Amino acid sequence: MKVLFVVPPLAGHINPTVAVAAELAARGHQVAWTGPAEVLPRLLPADAQLFPSGDRPGPRGYGALHTHWRDLRGVAALRFLWSEALIPLAHTMIPGVEAAVDSYAPDVLVVDQQALAGAVVAERRGLPWATSATTSAEFTRPFAGFPKVADWVMDQLAGLLADCGSPPGWDPRFSDRLVLVFSTLELVGEYASHPGHFAFVGPALSPRPSDGSAFPWQRLDPLRRRVLVSLGTLNGEAGGRFYAAVLQAAEQLADRAQLILAAPSDAVGEVPGHVLHQERVPQLPLLPHLDAVVSHGGHNTVCESLAYGLPLVVAPIRDDQPIVAEQVTAAGAGLRVRFGRPRAAELHDAIAAVLDNPAHRGAARRIQASFAAAGGAAAAADRLEKLL
């Protein structure tokens, strides 16, 4: 079987496909990716086969989009995501995805929910395709209380299909044959019944290029509990006020907890010696050495933490992050704090609670067990093999 993964230029959307691809390759299948070559090479294995699609040359590159997006919140962020990122990305990716299909001749496409071009091309060519759902927010009726927002999103999708000459009446975010959801109902919650072709396989984890980065392992304190603070790969520059509150909370926790802060140096300023600060950390190798995680609520970071049974303090910023934070708190696996108006006392109390209250760790371990039972990359590969 030849599998083509169609992905956007986002680490959290690419990482699970790397794990699934490795499992497929170990079974003798061929794998390749298509997406923006501006971003993908540093996130894929060194020997990955990549067919470029969707590159945005000049001043409107992905870096410029990120700079604008990181300052937005709420509905403004959602509108920007669709009108300035996802819909234009679909249009720019379609020619490259078409060329990848011609050159690679895949048997099946695995299409990220935000790489809409993959679904359009698969339907146009009559190829079987599966959805790669790297966030579970879409499965929790995210716009139930905002029908006008839901209608606006559907209008964006309808406009895309019309512009591409695709027939109306279908949703390129969801395959009608297989939707791989990299979570479980223990975390997502029983919001509604799901069709049988929705496969909740849990996180798909595998080593990634950044895991080999240097890290001062000898500085991990064996006498204190260890807490990672990370706002993910896209939000670090916007976290200045949040980091300042984190460092104040760290002062109060210094005698019992060591904070490992992953953040840009220019957003943090001076860091006391009892805090281990790094620009980047090898997150997956580090998680087994931790007791809790403070996160922005990115789906990958949350699921990776829970895969190791770690409770969370979640400070959501935008997009799906408030929904993921609600999933964490509803499951009992952590607490939510404010990102926009952070207070050191609130952060201190939340971190202390997830470290000291066994209920949070117990809930995290319950979700960890559900992830293990779901099967991860192996379960995703099983379902893909059955598509043909």
For residue 303, give every residue at least 6 positions away whose Cβ sits within 8 Å of its Cβ, in sequence order, or none: 182, 183, 187, 202, 203, 371
6 close to 110: Cβ distance less than 8 angstroms: yes
Domain assignment of residue 253, yes or no: yes
195 part of a folded domain:
no
236 lies in the same domain as 173: no
Domain assignment present for residue 254? The answer is: yes
Q: Same structural domain for residues 153 and 251?
A: no
Please tell me what DSSP assigns to residue 275: S
In sequence order, the β-bridge partners of residue 229 are: 261, 294
User: Does residue 204 fall inside a structural domain?
Assistant: no
Query: Tokens in use for 272?
Result: 């006391």
Residue 384 in any domain: the answer is no
Residue 197 in domain: no
Which helix (H) or strand (E) is 70 found in, with range? Answer: none
Domain that holds residue 42: 2-177
Torsional class of 199: left (φ above 0), alpha (ψ -120 to 50), beta (otherwise): beta
Residue 335: CATH number of its domain: 3.40.50.2000
Residues 216 and 162 placed together within one structural domain of the fold: no
One domain for residues 168 and 213: no
Both structure tokens of 367: 């979700």
DSSP state of 197: T
Domain end marker among 132, 158, 177: 177
Taking CA atoms, 91 is separated from 105, 159, 228, in Å, by 21, 11, 38
pLDDT in tens, 39-68: 899 999 999 999 999 886 444 555 555 555
Through-space distance between the first and last CA atoms of the chain, rounded to whole angstroms = 9
User: For tokens 């609670």, what's the residue?
Assistant: 353
> 223 and 87: one domain?
no
Cα–Cα distance between 299 and 233 in angstroms, integer?
12
| Cα separation, 314 vs 337, whole angstroms | 6
pLDDT (tens place) for every residue of the chain, 388 residues total: 999 999 999 888 999 999 999 999 999 999 999 999 988 999 999 999 999 998 864 445 555 555 555 565 566 777 888 888 899 999 999 999 999 999 999 999 999 999 999 999 999 999 999 999 998 877 766 655 556 878 888 999 999 999 999 999 999 999 999 999 999 999 998 755 678 899 999 999 987 766 656 899 999 999 999 999 999 755 555 578 899 999 999 999 999 999 999 998 888 888 999 999 999 999 999 999 999 999 999 999 999 999 999 999 999 988 789 999 999 999 999 999 999 888 999 999 999 999 999 999 999 999 999 999 999 999 999 999 999 8
Do 19 and 133 belong to one domain? Answer: yes
Whole-number CA gyration radius for the chain = 21
- Residue ending a domain, among 177, 199, 224, is 177
Say if CB 225 and CB 256 are below 8 A apart.
yes
Number of structural domains the chain divides into: 2
Cα separation, 155 vs 281, in Å, equals: 40
- The owner of tokens 């044959």 is 177
Do 252 and 332 fall within a single domain? yes
- Whether residue 386 is contained in a domain is answered as no
Cβ contact 180:380 at 8 Å: yes
Count the helix, strand and coil residues of the chain and give each as a percent rounded to the nearest 5: 50, 15, 35
pLDDT tens for each residue of 271-297: 999 999 999 999 999 999 999 999 999
d(CA 277, CA 366): 31
Q: Which has the closest alpha carbon to 284: 387, 213, 357, 380? A: 213
What is the structure's pLDDT at 1? Answer: 96
* 186's tokens: 């223990």
Q: Are residues 217 and 136 in the same domain?
A: no
Residues 171 and 240 in one domain: no
Is 196 contained in some domain? no
